[in-house]
Structure 1
Amino acid sequence: MSAGAIDSEEMAPEETPPPPKPWKDEGYPAFSKWMASSEDFLILRRFRKVNTRALLYLQNKVARLEEDLDNIDASARQMPDEFADSGTFRGDPLAARTATMERAIPLLQQYNEFLVTYSQVNSWSTAQKYHTQNLDNWFWNHRGAICEEEQEFASHKDDLVAVLNRPKTPLRQLIEKFMPLLDTRLFRSAPREQHVSSPTTVYLSNKRLDAVVFGVVITLGLLLLLGPMWTLHFVVDGVKRLGIITGFIFLFTALLSSATIAKPFEVLAATAAYAAVLMVFLQMSGGEEA
C-alpha cells in the first residue's frame, strides 16, 4: 500500500505551491508566541504622553470635586445652625456634601492606583538597542505577518521598555555579538516548550554565557592583581612606576564598568580600594630594593 501511494504521488502533475499568506498562517498567534518565548523579545510601549494626559484628566476631575466640597463647606457656614453642622458624617444635614464624597472616593482610588502603576512603569529602563533590534528583525523576517500600521509601535524607540528586562553587562552584550561563537552547541539553550522553531531565532543559555563572563572577569581580575606586582618588581624608575600604576587603575576601572552593572559610586569605591592595593605593592617593591 505504501508503494502504491508513493507511485501515485510521483505520477501526479507537479503543482505550483500557493503564494505565502503570513497574515493568515502566522499573524498575531506566531508573533505572540515569539514574544513570550524569551525575556529579550517582550518589548512594549509605555505610552508616556497618553498616560500623562490621562493622569492630568483624572487629576482635573478630582480637583473639581474638591472645589465642590469647598464651596459646599463655605455655603454651609452661611446657613442657619441646623444646616451648618460639618462635624459629623453620620448626621450630615447636607445631602450634597455626602453625595460629593461618595463620588470622590472611587475617583480617588482610580487616580491613586493609576498614579502608582504608571510611576512603576515609568521607572523601568528604556529598551536597549539589542531589544529593539530583535523586534525589527522579526518584522523583517516575517514581512506581512502583522499589519504595517500595527508595527508602528516599534518605531518609538525611546518609549519602548523590556517588560522582563534582565540586565546585561556590556561584556555580555559584546560576547553575544560573536554569532559564529554563539552558533555552536556550547551556547545554545536546550529546547523548551515555549521556544519557537525558526531558522532566524536563536535561544542562548544564560547559565553558560554567565559562566563565560565570570571566567573572563576572574582571569582579567587576577592579571590586574598579579601584573602590577611583577611589573613593579622589575622597574626601578619612580615615574615609570607611577605610570604603571595609573595604567592598571584605568584598566581596572574599564573592566569593572564593562563586566558589571555596578553604579558609578560603587565603581569609584572599588577603584579606590584597588589603587590602595597597588600602592602597597609599590611600597613593598621599593622596600626590597632599599
Structure 2
Amino acid sequence: MDLENGDGARLMSRKDDLQQARREETQSVREGLISTIQHKLVTYDDILAKARDLNAFQRPSNRDYHSFRTWFWNVKPLNYEPEEDFIKRREDLVSLRHGREWSGFDGLVETCIRKMHGPLTQKLFATKELREKTDDKCLYYYSQSRIEKLVGLIITLIIFILLVLPVVAMYKLTSVGDRNSTFDAVGILVVFTLLFSAAMSLLTKAKRHELFAASAAYCAVLVVFISNFSNDGSHQNG
C-alpha cells in the first residue's frame, strides 16, 4: 500500500524491521529443525544400544532349538501357519539361559537322559517343583544342577582312569629294566597324553592355552614317573 501511494520513505524506514523479522523467522525454523534432528538422533542411539544389547544375548543351542521346534510342531500354539514361519529363522532367535560352562559332552549327556525319559529319570534328574511345573506330555524339565553333577562324576572317573592306567602300565614295563620296555613306556606316555588332550577338548570348554598347559603338566608327571622308575631299575640291576 505504501508503494502504491508513492510513500517510499516509509518503506525505507521499515527495511531494518523486515530484515529482523526474516532473521527471527529463519532462526525459529532452524531451531525447530535442530530440535527435530536431535530428537531423532537420540531415538536412533537408543535403538542402536538396544540392538547391541540384544545381539549380546546367547543364541540357542542345537538341542534347545530342536526342542522348541518339536514343541511348536506338537502343540501348534498359533494355529496359523504363516505366523509360525519365524521359528525357521534361527539366526533371529535368542536364548535367555544364563551363561555357564556347557560343552558338547554336557549336551550329549542331557540328550541321552531325554531319550531315556521315564519315571526313573524324572525322579533322578527332576525336582518335585520341576515335575509339578507342567503336565504337558510334550514338555518336561530336568534339573541342570543334577545333570552337571552327573557330568562331573563321569569326567572325574575318566580323569582317574587316564591317570591310573598309564601309571600301572608303565610301572610294569619299567620294572623289567629292559631298554625296549623303556621305549614302550614312552609310547604309552605319548598315547595317553593324546587321549588326555582329546578328553580335555571334548569334555570341557578349555581354551587353547589351558589345553596346552594341562597336557604339558600331564606329560611332565608321566615323564617324571618313567625317569624315577628307570633309575630305580638301573640301580637294582647294578
Both proteins in one fold, TM over 0.5: yes
Cα separation, 1, equivalents of 2:33 and 2:211: 55
Which residue does 1:259 correspond to in 2? 203
Cα separation, 2, equivalents of 1:204 and 1:164: 14
Give how far 1:219 is off: 1.5
Which residue does 2:22 correspond to in 1? none
Given the two structures, how large is their TM-score scaled by the length of structure 1? 0.59
- In structure 2, which of residues 179, 186, 192 is the aligned counterpart of residue 248 of structure 1? 192
Cα separation, 2, equivalents of 1:286 and 1:96: 93
Percent identity among equivalent residues?
Answer: 24
Give 5+ residue unaligned stretches, structure 2. Answer: 1-25, 175-180
Q: What is the letter of the counterpart of residue 278 of structure 1?
A: L
Give 5+ residue unaligned stretches, structure 1. Answer: 1-92
Query: Any conservation in 2 of the 1:188–1:203 contact (CA below 8 Å)?
Result: yes
Give how far 1:120 is off: 3.0
> Using a 3 Å threshold, how does the CA distance of structure 1 residues 130 and 180 change in structure 2: closer, same or farther?
closer
Cα separation, 2, equivalents of 1:180 and 1:134: 12
* More RCO (CA 8 Å, sep 6+): 1
> Using a 3 Å threshold, how does the CA distance of structure 1 residues 232 and 192 change in structure 2: closer, same or farther?
closer
Q: What is the letter of the counterpart of residue 126 of structure 2?
A: R
Q: Give the superposed CA RMSD.
A: 2.8
Q: Does 1:196 align with 2:134?
A: yes
Q: Does 1:157 align with 2:157?
A: no
Cα separation, 2, equivalents of 1:197 and 1:127: 24
Cα separation, 2, equivalents of 1:230 and 1:193: 46
Bigger proportion of residues as helix? 2
Given the two structures, how large is their TM-score scaled by the length of structure 2? 0.71
Bigger radius of gyration: 2
Which residue does 1:214 correspond to in 2? 152
Matched residue pairs, number?
199
Q: Does 1:239 align with 2:163?
A: no
Q: Does 1:169 align with 2:103?
A: yes
Cα separation, 1, equivalents of 2:201 and 2:185: 24
Q: Does 1:228 align with 2:155?
A: no
Give how far 1:231 is off: 1.6
Aligned 1:115-130 pairs, distance under 5 A: 115-130=48-63
Cα separation, 2, equivalents of 1:144 and 1:116: 32
Give how far 1:165 is off: 4.6
Give how far 1:181 is off: 4.4
